[in-house]
Every structure is written in structure tokens, then in C-alpha cells.
């Protein structure tokens, strides 16, 4: 009995897949199966079977504190890792639109 690599539907040896489970695609170069990511997501560099939201593409699919203002620059309210920066509030982001970030007014009490 051959032990196939993860997510293989069928393999001819323990190193290479011939077919993959639903939701996975065969990489012809290494013969392994990788997760198919939905629009706005990409495979993690650390785990090729985990999809992460693309940061900086101007599409927000996750909830706060995640934000996506269409770039990966710090200091504009949404940082280079797509998290809301201190002193800002970001809103309006969706699959169709980027977030807009603005500073939170400071409250002064006398």
C-alpha cells in the first residue's frame, strides 16, 4: 500500500500525485497538491495549504482590525501588514472597495 502525499486523490508513488482532492490543484513541477484560494486570497509562503488575504490589493474581506487601503505603506492609517494603526479608524472596505482611514480626533477634557 502506497502512502500518498497530503491532499492527493491518486498517486503512483509516495512522492508525486496524479490527481488531487476537490479544492486542490496539481502542481506539475513538484507533483504535489495545493489549495485553490478564493479571489482576494493567496497561498501562505509558510503553509502552501493555507490561504491568506492579500494585503495591499484594495479588497477587504476580513473584519477589523484588518484593513486594506490599496497599498502597503505605513503611516496612512492602514499599515504594511494591513492592520489599523493606532490613532486611526478605517472603514468602507469590501470586496469592491478599499478602506479609507482617518485620524481619530483627540478628546480634551477640562
Query: Per residue in 18-45, pLDDT tens?
Result: 999 999 999 999 999 999 999 999 999 8
- pLDDT per position as a tens digit, 39-81: 999 999 898 789 999 999 999 988 777 899 999 999 999 999 9
Contact 13, 25 (CB under 8 A): no
Q: Is the pTM of this model over 0.75?
A: no
Q: 102 — phi, psi (to 5°)?
A: -140, 155
* Residue 12 pLDDT greater than 90, yes or no: no
Amino acid at each position: 500500500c502506497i502512502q500518498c502525499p497530503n491532499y492527493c486523490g491518486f498517486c503512483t508513488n509516495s512522492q508525486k500525485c496524479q490527481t488531487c482532492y476537490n479544492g486542490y490543484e496539481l502542481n506539475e513541477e513538484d507533483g504535489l497538491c495545493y489549495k485553490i484560494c478564493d479571489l482576494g486570497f493567496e497561498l501562505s509562503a509558510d503553509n502552501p495549504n493555507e490561504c491568506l488575504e492579500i494585503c495591499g490589493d484594495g479588497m477587504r474581506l476580513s473584519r477589523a482590525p484588518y484593513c486594506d487601503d490599496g497599498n502597503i505603506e505605513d503611516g496612512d492609517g492602514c499599515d504594511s501588514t494591513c492592520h489599523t494603526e493606532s490613532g486611526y479608524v478605517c472603514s468602507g472596505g469590501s470586496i469592491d472597495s478599499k478602506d479609507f482611514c482617518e485620524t481619530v480626533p483627540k478628546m480634551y477634557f477640562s
